Structure 1
Amino acid sequence: MTRHSIALAALMAASLPALAAEPAKDDAMLKLATTSGCMTCHHIDPGAKGPDGLAPIGPAWRDVSAKYKGQKNAAAALTHTVMTGSNPYESHWKGKVSGLAMPPNAVAIKEADAKKLVNWILALDAGKKS
């Protein structure tokens, strides 16, 4: 191998981690989630406890991503839930979180931003920790 080939291979290898960056490290999405109030009820990683030591109010986003992985209309359905809230009588997270329903969030986040946030959540890898 020539020096040029070795340098090129090293440069390509160094850039791979940046290309495969974990979505949880997206500062813009973390800021959006925080300023929209999402982080009050949700965490990225499963098992994280709230500031009071209790289970989180809403499900961890890696759990949401795993649950909806591969479902055709997941992004649209979850965006709708973010904007309009969920039915406490049909909670599929019952017994896993302390909250029974998600309140409507149309006053806290624009629908376009909710779509971005939902797509980011669905891209999270269920097996990784932040």
Structure 2
Amino acid sequence: MKSIFAAVAVAGLMFAGNAMATDMPADGKAKCAACHKVDTKLVGPAWKDVAAKYKGQKDAEATLIANITKGGKFGWNMGQMTPRGLGANDEQIKGLAKFILSL
């Protein structure tokens, strides 16, 4: 009985952890994951931190799209982001900006 309870508890924790985790979309993994993670600073800021920086700004999406497109430091003091990351196209950049701001 104890082993059944333990197995159910472990399975429940695994499911809860997966349900709460936010995973980077495929374009983000391919074009951005070398420098960014969703919730941990890497070479660049965590995307949740980027979302928090732009939260409540009317032009947040347009600003983020422009920043990703042109590259730069953006006040993070972490280094220079290359324009378009690793070659993201306009459609990918727009989708990634929407994803980032949804965090």
TM-score by length of 2: 0.71
Deviation at 1:22, TM superposition (A): 6.3
Q: Provide closer, same or farther for how the CA distance between residues 31 and 74 of structure 1 changes in structure 2, counting only shifts above 3 A.
A: same
Is the 8 Å Cα contact of residues 84 and 106 (structure 1) preserved in structure 2? no
Q: Provide closer, same or farther for how the CA distance between residues 106 and 93 of structure 1 changes in structure 2, counting only shifts above 3 A.
A: closer
Q: Provide closer, same or farther for how the CA distance between residues 107 and 60 of structure 1 changes in structure 2, counting only shifts above 3 A.
A: closer
Deviation at 1:84, TM superposition (A): 1.1
Structure-to-structure mapping, 1:56-67, within 5 angstroms: 56-67=42-53
Q: Provide closer, same or farther for how the CA distance between residues 45 and 111 of structure 1 changes in structure 2, counting only shifts above 3 A.
A: same
Q: Provide closer, same or farther for how the CA distance between residues 80 and 23 of structure 1 changes in structure 2, counting only shifts above 3 A.
A: farther
Show CA shifts across 1:48-68 (max 9, x none): xxxxxxxx2100000011111
The reply to whether residue 92 of structure 1 matches residue 86 of structure 2 is: no
2-structure distance, mates of 1:23, 1:83: 27
1-structure distance, mates of 2:47, 2:54: 11
1-structure distance, mates of 2:58, 2:69: 19
2-structure distance, mates of 1:113, 1:22: 24
Mark the runs of 5 or more structure 1 residues left unpaired by the alignment.
1-20, 48-55, 125-130
SS at match of 1:77: helix
Mark the runs of 5 or more structure 2 residues left unpaired by the alignment.
1-18
Is the 8 Å Cα contact of residues 81 and 102 (structure 1) preserved in structure 2? no
Alignment coverage as a number of residue pairs: 85
Q: Give RMSD over aligned pairs.
A: 2.2
The reply to whether residue 123 of structure 1 matches residue 68 of structure 2 is: no
Deviation at 1:121, TM superposition (A): 0.5
Q: Provide closer, same or farther for how the CA distance between residues 22 and 79 of structure 1 changes in structure 2, counting only shifts above 3 A.
A: farther
Aligned with 1:109 (options 88, 91, 94): 88
Asked which structure has the greater RCO (Cα within 8 Å, sep 6+), the reply is 1
Deviation at 1:123, TM superposition (A): 0.5
Partner of 2:27: 32
**Rg: which structure is higher?**
1
